[in-house]
Amino acid sequence: MAMEAGQIKSLIEAAFPDAVVVIEDLRGDGDHYAAQVTSTAFKGKSRVQQHQMVYKALRGAMGGDLHALALQTQAPAE
């Protein structure tokens, strides 16, 4: 079962209320997405830590309902 873009966005925004989240369906199949996430929660964190935080927010959907997610994360510019 594929995940909808809105569902991905909602899960990320629930974990990071200040986040700016942009989701793109890469193939139009509801199975391959790109996400850009900007949040102050990422400040001082490595890229790997940032990605781990987003994967945790997705509550285990990666590899199940969500097959592929090209993820870009960053803290907002000061």
- pTM equals 0.88
Burial of 12 (0-12, 13-18, 19+ CB in 10 A): buried
pLDDT over 90 at 27, yes or no? no
Q: What is the pLDDT of residues 31-58, one digit of tens each?
A: 789 999 999 999 999 999 999 999 999 8
Q: What is the pLDDT of residue 78?
A: 73
Query: What distance in Å separates the CA atoms of residue 45 and residue 34, rounded to the nearest whole number?
Result: 21
Query: What distance in Å separates the CA atoms of residue 22 and residue 69, rounded to the nearest whole number?
Result: 12
Name all domains of the chain by residue range, CATH numbers in brackets.
5-74 (3.30.300.90)
Question: What SS3 class is residue 46?
Answer: coil
